[in-house]
Amino acid sequence: MKIHIKNGRLIDPKNKIDAQCDIYIAAGKIVGIGNKPVDFAANQTIDATDLVVSPGFIDLSARLREPGSEYNATLVSELNAAAAGGVTGLACTPDTQPVLDEPGLVEMLKYRAKQLNLAHVYPLGALTRQLEGKLLTEMCKLTEAGCVGFSQADHAIIDTQVLWRACEYASTFGFTLFLRAEDDYLAKNGVAHDGEIASRLGLKGIPAAAEGLAIASILRIARETNTKIHLCRLSTAEGVNLVREAKKQGVQVTADVSAQHLHLTDFDIGYFNAHAHIKPPLRSMRDKDALCQGLKDGTIDAICSDHTPVNDDAKLLPFAESEAGATGLELLLPLALKWADNQKLDIAEAIAKITYQPAKILGINSGHLSIGSDADIAIFNPEQTWKVTPDQLKSQGKNTPFLGLEMAGKVQYTLLHGQITYQDESN
């Protein structure tokens, strides 16, 4: 199968390309950029006039809900959502049932994903068995099975001795730990940012300090043990400052922010909108501004979707009883574009945060379009608006605080290994 993508605006931040440029694909690989290879005869031509052609997006945090929570979503539904969102590679969290703490489970997941061939799935293995924060998992075996790093999902390691050992062990082999920093005690039973809004609504708050405290201890241990740490989903201004300082001091730390946190605050909880119940909580305007700024200045490396499909019943409950999380794979691009637009940045800046930057964190050779690399490509119209409705979303989870809002940025085609995995119906 040979594909010719013509007349598109190629944006590849890693290779610093932003120009009208044709792409030629053969046998799943990119064989020509700009110049047509000799003897190339396309089986299919995609007209990308007025469209942006970019590396397929890489998401650092998506819950696929399989195994164990198929009532919320399945691998099929969520990988189709990924394709619809232009996401060609995603890291999935280990908080499935059973927990991804056994090589066999990881192999099974990788195998199932490969059969579906809708997106590359990069599992994050559990750092501790059952995510209990007590016993280390077989990290080497899990890596062999396909894990690209280790995570505790939303379960903190309370015992600093265990955290220290986990860091030492991971550091021995150069593994990266993906940790969401939140002090377990301060966050206990909390469902919203501890501030005026939570006080008014009578919701149990999680102080911003819960993040700062946890980051401080994680980074302290990381520095001591020389461990590569990726901090997942920063939510506070304090967190951004701590990461900025740590980077200056040469700590091996990277960080991401969820697309939701770039645009929403605790004010968006409104009258107890359960769709705005997410982890970490939506915080203050000041925090949101600091996250946007931190992303701009490179303190925060990447944007993730924090994709968490939740079935309707689990959201149809009073705020605190509802399950936290928002569906996000299909909103990653428009929300990233919106951030760049708000910050008066070029589209390429947004694309960098969802392509080669996350790829670098995952340690995978992806997120760029070079001759010889896999033809994982997203083709989108950055101007086209669409309304977020349950029908529009391929994900089984229809839960998002952006329901009913207009988004700019619509994926037209997604290619994985040079095969079209998604095509907008209007084409």
Closest to another protein by CB, 196 or 383: 196
In the complex, the smallest distance separating the C-beta of residue 267 from another protein, rounded to whole angstroms, is 10
Give the number of residues in contact with another protein, rule: CB under 8 A: 22
Closest alpha carbon to 96 in 138, 155, 144, 175: 155
By the rule CB under 8 A, 363 interacts with another protein: no
Of residues 204 through 223, those in contact with another protein by CB under 8 A are 204-205, 207
In the complex, the smallest distance separating the C-beta of residue 132 from another protein, rounded to whole angstroms, is 25
Q: Which of 159, 224, 245, 321 binds another protein (CB under 8 A)?
A: 321
In the complex, the smallest distance separating the C-beta of residue 210 from another protein, rounded to whole angstroms, is 13
- From residue 5, alpha-carbon distances to 34, 39, 43, 213, 378 in Å are 10, 16, 11, 49, 11
By the rule CB under 8 A, 320 interacts with another protein: yes
Q: Which of 27, 158, 317, 371 binds another protein (CB under 8 A)?
A: 317
Q: Which two tokens stand for residue 325?
A: 């999380």
In the complex, the smallest distance separating the C-beta of residue 266 from another protein, rounded to whole angstroms, is 11
- Please count the other Cβ atoms lying within 10 Å of the Cβ belonging to residue 364: 16
Q: Which of 318, 344, 372, 391 binds another protein (CB under 8 A)?
A: 318
Cis preceding-peptide flag for 67 (omega within 30 of 0): yes
| Beta carbons of 17 and 10 less than 8 angstroms apart | yes
CA distance 161 to 175: 19
User: Which one of the spans 157-165, 190-198, 378-386, 417-425 is the region binding another protein (CB under 8 A)?
Assistant: 190-198
Cis preceding-peptide flag for 382 (omega within 30 of 0): no
By the rule CB under 8 A, 313 interacts with another protein: yes
In the complex, the smallest distance separating the C-beta of residue 193 from another protein, rounded to whole angstroms, is 9
- Please count the other Cβ atoms lying within 10 Å of the Cβ belonging to residue 211: 30
- Please count the other Cβ atoms lying within 10 Å of the Cβ belonging to residue 392: 14
Q: Are strands 406-416 and 419-423 parallel, antiparallel or unpaired?
A: antiparallel
Q: Are strands 228-231 and 176-179 parallel, antiparallel or unpaired?
A: parallel
DSSP 331: G
Closest to another protein by CB, 63 or 193: 193
Of residues 251 through 310, those in contact with another protein by CB under 8 A are 270-272
Q: Which residues pair with 87 in a beta bridge?
A: 57
CA distance 369 to 165: 39
By the rule CB under 8 A, 319 interacts with another protein: yes
In the complex, the smallest distance separating the C-beta of residue 194 from another protein, rounded to whole angstroms, is 5
In the complex, the smallest distance separating the C-beta of residue 89 from another protein, rounded to whole angstroms, is 37
By the rule CB under 8 A, 390 interacts with another protein: no
By the rule CB under 8 A, 125 interacts with another protein: no
Q: Which two tokens stand for residue 80?
A: 């189709």
CA distance 61 to 58: 9
In the complex, the smallest distance separating the C-beta of residue 203 from another protein, rounded to whole angstroms, is 5
Closest alpha carbon to 299 in 290, 307, 312: 290
Active site residue 306: yes
State the virtual CA torsion across 232, 360, 120, 182 in degrees, nearest 10: -10
Closest to another protein by CB, 202 or 298: 202
Q: Which of 37, 98, 174, 202 binds another protein (CB under 8 A)?
A: 202
DSSP E strand stretches across 213-353: 228-231, 253-258, 302-304
Q: Which of 146, 195, 280, 397 binds another protein (CB under 8 A)?
A: 195
Q: Which of 50, 196, 224, 245 binds another protein (CB under 8 A)?
A: 196
- From residue 34, alpha-carbon distances to 11, 18, 61, 76, 300 in Å are 12, 12, 33, 35, 32
Closest to another protein by CB, 319 or 402: 319
Contacts of 376 (CB under 8 A, 6+ apart): 55, 56, 88, 89, 120, 366, 415, 416, 417
User: Which one of the spans 188-196, 352-360, 374-382, 405-413 is the region binding another protein (CB under 8 A)?
Assistant: 188-196
By the rule CB under 8 A, 203 interacts with another protein: yes
By the rule CB under 8 A, 199 interacts with another protein: yes
Closest to another protein by CB, 173 or 271: 271
Three-class DSSP category at 342: helix
By the rule CB under 8 A, 189 interacts with another protein: no
Catalytic residue, chosen from 154, 256, 266, 306, is: 306
CA distance 138 to 107: 14
Q: Which of 27, 316, 371, 405 binds another protein (CB under 8 A)?
A: 316
In the complex, the smallest distance separating the C-beta of residue 250 from another protein, rounded to whole angstroms, is 35
Catalytic residues: 306
By CB under 8 A, name the binding residues for another protein: 194-196, 198-205, 207, 270-272, 313, 316-321
